[in-house]
């Protein structure tokens, strides 16, 4: 069996690649950049490129059984700045990818969608997969559109697929000086002795899931065999909500250093609460999260502290 991981040098991708290697699968990684934190494996085939290079797609999907599509060029909070770019670089390039997967006879595509944006403001929590999808950022809209195109390609060409609507992943390998991922960014600022920045009052509630649990969910999704009419879209999260203020309290217990917090005006794009119902994934995929928040925070903090200070500076 051979797997292609698009975005395999990123945060989620590097953990998935390690999980695939533990399963003794052949792995090909396609990414725009090398990994910032993980050394290349001698047993993995690395291809540096861009999904926008449509001529390269037929080559990277050749002789592949599973395709994991993890790459995305935009973030929720910036996607509305240039929705045309979001559509061109994510939706259109993914449609081209699906065409090549169909031609190459790929067995399955597993796509990382967004449990935090596709639903919009929840009408009830925890949020089930059947909840209305009303995203109000371009990021969520294009994620949802890709979900729909995956079903089109399954219906027309028999290209099997699974969609994972992931909540808020965190853990080792998440850039502590990046712009996405509250836990990673918070710990990165603490490591530099800088205050944490909170948008709003800190009462926004989110569902955080440890990265290794996301990797096992991706493997379970690839192995899952759905029949016509059976679900192919699953929420992946902890199933538990925690406010930013509660998260900061947990972090204070973990890091055991002074933690300063700066509160700034709330953002229009932040929904007040997002907690995913993960019962369908438990039932159909045979998956469940195992690492609780306290343990995950401790592992992540130890990794952040161990980073080479020179490397940390170059990533800012």
Active site (catalytic) residues: 139
Which residues, other chains included, contact 82 with Cβ-Cβ below 8 Å and sequence gap of 6+?
Answer: none
Query: What span, in angstroms and rounded, lies between the C-alpha atoms of 88 and 85?
Result: 5
CB atoms within 10 A of CB 55: 7
Q: Calculate the alpha carbon distances from 130 to 66, 109, 197, 226 in Å.
A: 26, 21, 34, 17
CB atoms within 10 A of CB 315: 14
- Evaluate whether 77 touches 267 at the Cβ level (below 8 Å): yes
Segment holding 164, helix H or strand E: strand 160-166
Name the burial class of residue 199, with classes exposed (0-12), middle (13-18) and buried (19+) by CB atoms within 10 angstroms of its CB. Answer: middle
């Amino acid at each position: 069996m051979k797997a292609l991981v698009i975005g395999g040098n990123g945060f989620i991708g590097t953990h998935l690649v390690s999980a695939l290697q533990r399963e003794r699968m052949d792995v090909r990684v396609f990414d725009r950049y090398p990994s910032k934190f993980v050394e290349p494996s001698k047993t993995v085939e690395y291809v540096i490129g861009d999904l926008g290079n449509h001529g390269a797609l037929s080559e990277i999907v050749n002789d592949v059984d599973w395709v994991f599509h993890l790459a995305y060029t935009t973030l929720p909070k910036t996607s509305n700045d240039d929705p045309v770019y979001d559509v061109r670089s994510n939706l259109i390039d993914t449609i081209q990818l699906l065409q090549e997967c169909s031609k190459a006879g790929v067995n399955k595509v597993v796509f990382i969608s967004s449990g935090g944006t596709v639903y919009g403001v929840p009408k009830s929590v925890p949020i089930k997969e059947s909840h209305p999808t009303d995203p109000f950022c371009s990021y969520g809209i294009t994620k949802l559109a890709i979900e729909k195109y995956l079903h089109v390609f399954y219906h027309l060409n028999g290209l099997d697929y699974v969609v994972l609507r992931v909540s808020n992943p965190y853990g080792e390998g998440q850039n502590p000086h990046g712009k996405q991922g509250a836990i990673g960014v918070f710990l990165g600022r603490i490591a530099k002795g800088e205050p944490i920045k909170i948008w709003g009052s800190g009462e926004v509630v989110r569902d955080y899931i440890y990265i290794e649990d996301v990797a096992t969910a991706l493997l379970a999704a690839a192995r899952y065999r759905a029949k016509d009419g059976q679900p192919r879209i699953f929420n992946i999260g902890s199933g538990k909500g925690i406010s930013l203020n509660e998260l900061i309290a947990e972090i204070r217990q973990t890091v055991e250093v002074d933690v300063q917090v700066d509160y700034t005006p709330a953002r229009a794009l932040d929904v007040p609460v997002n907690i995913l119902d993960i019962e369908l994934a438990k039932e159909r995929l045979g998956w469940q999260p195992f690492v609780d928040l306290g343990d995950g925070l401790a592992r992540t903090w130890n990794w952040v502290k161990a980073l080479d200070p020179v490397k940390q500076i170059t990533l800012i």
